[in-house]
Amino acid sequence: MAGDTLHREFVLTDSFFESIDSPVLNKGNVTARVDVRRVSHDFELTVDCDGVAVVPCDRCLDDVPVDVHTHEVLVAKLGSGDDSDDGIIWVGNPDGVLNLAWHLFETIALALPCKRVHPDGQCNEEMAARLHDYEAGGDGDEEGGNPRRQGTDPRWDALKELLNNNK
């Protein structure tokens, strides 16, 4: 394989993400292309992932599709070494077999944006209304209202009195 490049393509679907058992990312359809090239005694892996990951919306908790596009170059070394070195994967398997499943999952998970929300107006209406009750000081639902908005805490009233006495 000296000088040649080995090409592999994996289609990562819902079953792949479910097998990882992550609470954040358990659905998607991502194509991962991996090119492996021998460089001296090591192997250079070029990983490109493109597709859609499905994660819970930060606002309404319904599924929201997020585009994923990543490009990464790694070095695989045979033997054992320090796993804390970024960009280097140690292959301790005596047969030289490398399972990329967890690495592909991490690559996709790290490519997700910090804020994962539906575009404005596309969130679950019931959850959006509940969120609005808590954010805007609404009355909550008719069964008991918003527990965080009922009355004022007497401790805060006492502190406000102290502020008023200083004027």
Whether 54 and 107 map to the same domain: the answer is yes
pLDDT of residue 84: 60
Whether 49 and 86 map to the same domain: the answer is yes
Residue 122 DSSP one-character state: -
Q: Which one, of 38, 56, 57, lies nearest residue 46 by Cα?
A: 38
pLDDT of residue 11: 96
Whether 75 and 136 map to the same domain: the answer is no
* 47 found inside a domain: yes
pLDDT of residue 167: 59
Whether 65 and 99 map to the same domain: the answer is yes
Q: What is the DSSP string of 29-45?
A: EEEEEEEEEEETTEEEE
Alpha-carbon dihedral of residues 61, 63, 66, 68, nearest 10 degrees?
A: 110
* 120 found inside a domain: no
pLDDT of residue 1: 47
Domain range for residue 51?
5-111
Whether 36 and 94 map to the same domain: the answer is yes
Long-range contacts of 149-153 (CB under 8 A, 24+ apart): none
Q: How many domains does the chain have?
A: 2
* 11 found inside a domain: yes
Per-residue confidence in pLDDT tens, the chain, 167 aa: 455 889 999 999 999 999 998 888 989 999 999 999 988 888 899 999 999 999 999 888 899 999 999 999 988 888 777 666 677 888 877 677 888 899 999 999 999 999 998 888 888 888 877 777 776 555 544 444 445 555 677 888 878 787 777 65
